[in-house]
Amino acid sequence: MISRLSAIAFNTFREAVRDRVLYNLVLFVLLLLATAPLFGQISIGLERIILINVGLSAISLFGIVIAIFVGIGLVAKEMDKKTLYTILSRPVRRWEFIAGKYFGLMMTLVVNAAFMAGGFYLALLINARGLQRADVGLLIAIYFTILQFFVMTSITLLFSSFSTPIFSALFAFSLFVIGTFAEDLRNFAAMSHGVTRWLVTGAAYLVPNFSALNVISQVAHDAPVSGTLVLWNSVYAVLYSLTTLAAAALIFERRNLK
Amino acid sequence: MAALEIQGLAKTYSSGFWHATRKVALQPLHLNVEEGETFGFLGPNGAGKTTTLKLLMGIVFPTAGSARILGHDFHDPEIKKQVGFLPEQPYFYDYLNASELLDYYARLSGVSREQRHKKIPALLETVGLGEAGRVPLRKFSKGMLQRVGIAQAIVHDPRIVFLDEPMSGLDPIGRREIRELIVNLKREGRTVFFSTHILSDAEALCDRVGIIHKGLLRGIGVIENLKSKIADTSEVVWRGTDALATVSDLLTQSHVTGEVVCGVISGQNQDLLLERLRHQGAHLISVTPIHGTLEDYFLEHTSEQETITT
């Protein structure tokens, strides 16, 4: 099982690399390095905050875009081109295919994020002419961003297990936007009454809570992130991803592949 | 032992918003293929050949029935270690080269790293791609893709190989190459089940064939037996036009050239015709049996349904 999962995951990663998905890194690093000296001219003391905000948000945005646009094609492409036929005619369970694809895209996103983080720290180094002790804390924000990728990739796979790529992209992007405002939705639920309260609360807990996984502005202002939040966010992301992946596998298990 | 036992496998596709439109792709199919046999599954386009293969490979789910491959339920993933499959007009990951592709599929089938390193170069040689192992698949011709397709189907040394239209779209040289590969599979003792609508390929390769049309199996058997079921006719030539009037009711066709008459007669009437000709004092020149071909059998069984439905 492990061998089959790793074979599918590695092949997915290899496809992303050879299809030049990681070329976005070059764009990201060039953009950051080119603009880093400009931040110094904005305002003394603010340039670091702005650079952290821009840099970390870009890591998150680039990753989410890849998660959605590569993710929607993971199953659909294999079905369209019928490569799935030669996979399912082997001792590969359908859930193994879904899980392998998930890990392959996650591998791509983690490598992508790692390179971007390197570029980001380089920009920080150029801008501040040295790194501060507090900059290590920025890694927590990057870690949370990777947790967002875990959740987003599972959501994209869920949609692509039963829907067309266009609808999958639309659904996944909508959920990302709603999930970014999940805390506001929960606050709104708390203020509501009756059936509305139940409905909004249900929706608020069903959508992925991306706002809890975003501590960019917190770390940009050197505010500490508690160990408890790190733990709960990790548990939340793993459980949410597992549940979503299980749903994707369940749907895919019953699907007739025409 | 039967390598493949299909017991009433059937498939109906539903479409439309309420799944109200139903299309029968395969009517209950019963079929056995013995181990080591090369079996041709013949039928025109849309007959149900690919549906049958998709059902057996677990790509679509049957509406009814079941099947056993090498004695195991066809849904059992473990039995797929013994199964090879080449889909119709296959597409393979074009960002890989042939060696990488075979390595990927071999890993999925549980072949160890050591065996893969040993087997893949040898297999590429076997399918005539020894020099092209490192060439990206996007640069492969259709014939080369088909050969790499057969290689992926046997990279894990399966006992039974399913090939869906392996010769379709190939030029005569490509077809001959694939034909030779199938002969090799048979020589190695593997069971080969292949679908085709090219009858000459089936005649050249198969021990037995099954003919499917509109989702229903129309005939099955050894090719020679099937051909013998085609209306057995003979061509009879004699001298003496006077006798023609007395035997014309027995002839299906006749042609007169001067004093010589050439008539076509069904096998069952042959003795009667010869007796009447003797009575009339006609001079018999020749009696030549006309053999039915697989094409005749195929056309008879695939046009029959057209008559029923129209």
Has residue B189 been placed in a domain?
yes
The CA distance from A28 to A119, in Å, is 8
Residues B202 and B281 in one domain: no
pLDDT of residue A40: 61
Which CATH number fits the domain that encloses residue B263?
Answer: 3.30.70.980
Q: What share of chain A is helix, strand, coil (3-state, %, to 5)?
A: 80, 0, 20
| 54-83 of A, contacting B, C-beta below 8 A | 81-83
Is the Cβ–Cβ distance between A110 and A195 less than 8 Å? no
* pLDDT score, position B55: 93
Q: What is the pLDDT of residue B308?
A: 32
Nearest to A86 among B78, B87, B96 (CB): B87
- Do the chains contact at B95 and A92, CB–CB below 8 Å? no
Query: Which residues of A, range 18-47, sit inside 8 Å of B by Cβ?
Result: 18-19
The total of structural domains in chain B comes to 2
pLDDT of residue B310: 26
Show residues of chain A in contact with B93, CB under 8 Å.
11, 15, 83
B292 part of contact set with chain A, CB < 8 Å? no
Kindly determine whether residue A86 and residue B80, on different chains, have CB atoms separated by under 8 Å: no
Q: What is the pLDDT of residue A33?
A: 64
Please check whether residues B213 and B274 belong to one and the same domain. Answer: no
Residue B193 forms contact with A (CB below 8 Å)? no
8-state DSSP, A36: H
| B251 in a structural domain | yes
B48: left (phi over 0), alpha (psi -120 to 50) or beta: left
pLDDT tens string A114-142 = 988 888 888 787 776 666 766 777 888 89
Residues A256, B57: Cα–Cα separation, whole Å? 12
Q: What does the DSSP 8-state code read for residue B257?
A: E
Give per-residue pLDDT as tens, B89-137. 788 888 899 999 999 999 999 898 889 998 899 888 888 887 887 888 8
Q: How far apart are CA B283 and CA B280, in angstroms?
A: 9
Q: What is the ipTM of this complex?
A: 0.81
> Are B196 and B247 contained in the same domain?
no
Each residue's pLDDT tens digit, B277-304: 888 888 888 888 776 677 776 776 676 5
- The neighbour count for residue B258, using CB atoms within 10 Å, is 7
Assess contact for B41 and B52: CB atoms under 8 A: yes
Residues B50 and B69 in one domain: yes
- CA–CA separation, B218 vs B215, rounded Å? 9
> In degrees, to the nearest 5, what angle opens at C-alpha B8 toward C-alphas B296 and B217?
5
3-class secondary structure, B89: coil
Q: Is residue B115 part of a domain?
A: no
Higher pLDDT, B174 or A254: A254
Q: Are residues B152 and B264 in the same domain?
A: no
Q: Name beta bridge partners: A47.
A: none
- The arrangement of strands across the sheet holding B72-73 comes to B21-34, B2-15, B64-69, B72-73
Strand partners, B24: B12
> pTM for this structure?
0.80
**B116, part of any domain:** no
B chain contacts of residue A11, beta-carbon cutoff 8 Å: 93, 96, 104
User: Which of B197, B228, B259 is a domain's end point?
Assistant: B228
Share of chain B above pLDDT 90, in %: 17
pLDDT of the residue at A25 = 66
Q: What is the pLDDT of residue B306?
A: 42
Best mutation target, B74, B93, B96, B148, to test chain A (most A CBs within 10 A): B93
Torsion of CA A174, A179, A185, A190, to 10 degrees: 140
Q: Is B175 within 8 Å of B190 (Cβ atoms)?
A: no
| Closest to B165 (Cα-Cα) out of B49, B35, B301 | B49
Crossing angle between the packed helical segments B142-154 and B172-187, to the nearest 10 degrees? 10
Question: What's the half-sphere exposure (Cβ side, CA atoms, 13 Å) at B175?
Answer: 15
- One domain for residues B75 and B198: yes
Task: Output the pLDDT for position B305.
Answer: 45
- Residue whose pair of structure tokens reads 């270690």 in the numeric block: B81
Q: Which of A34-38, B39-43, B141-145 ranks highest by mean pLDDT?
A: B39-43
Query: Are B32 and B155 contained in the same domain?
Result: yes
- Are A91 and B108 an interchain contact pair (Cβ–Cβ within 8 Å)? yes
- C-alpha to C-alpha distance for B39 and A198, rounded to whole angstroms: 62
Residue B135 belongs to a domain: no
In a shared domain, residues B203 and B79: yes
The per-residue pLDDT for A215 is 81
Q: What percent of chain B has pLDDT over 70?
A: 93
Predicted pLDDT of residue A130:
67
- Tokens 């042609």 sit at which residue? B255
Give me the pLDDT at residue A240, please: 94
- Residue B69: which CATH number? 3.40.50.300
The one-letter code for the residue type at A109 is L
Distance CA B291, CA B267 (A): 11
Best residue in A74, A81, A90, A256 to probe B by mutation, most B CBs within 10 Å?
A90
Considering chain B, what is the average pLDDT of its residues?
84
- Give a yes or no: residue B81 inside a domain: yes
pLDDT in the model for residue B309: 31
Q: Is the pLDDT confidence value at B49 over 50?
A: yes
Same domain assignment for residues B53 and B157: yes
Is the residue at B23 inside a domain? Answer: yes
Q: Are B155 and B276 contained in the same domain?
A: no
Q: Does B104 touch chain A (CB under 8 A)?
A: yes
Query: Which chain A residues are within 8 Å of B81, Cβ to Cβ?
Result: 90-91
Range of the domain at B71: 2-91+147-168+184-228
Contact yes or no for B51/B25 (Cβ under 8 A) = yes
For the record, the structure tokens of B138 come out as 């996007």
Tens digit of each residue's pLDDT, chain A (258 residues): 788 889 999 999 988 888 776 676 667 667 766 676 666 666 666 777 887 888 888 888 888 988 888 888 888 888 888 888 999 999 999 999 999 999 999 999 999 889 888 888 887 877 766 667 667 778 888 999 999 999 999 999 999 888 888 888 899 889 988 888 888 888 888 888 888 888 888 888 888 888 888 888 777 777 777 888 889 999 999 999 999 999 999 998 888 877
Residues B188 and B284 in one domain: no
Residue B104 in tokens: 């990927």
pLDDT for res A95 = 93
Structure tokens, A9: 């995951």
Per-residue confidence (pLDDT) for residue B93, from 0 to 100: 87
| Angle at alpha carbon of residue A159, lines to A156 and A163, rounded to 5° | 135
Does residue B79 lie within any of the structural domains? yes
One domain, residues B81 and B30: yes
Please count the residue pairs, one from chain A and one from chain B, whose beta carbons lie less than 8 angstroms apart.
78
Which pLDDT does position A103 carry in this prediction? 94
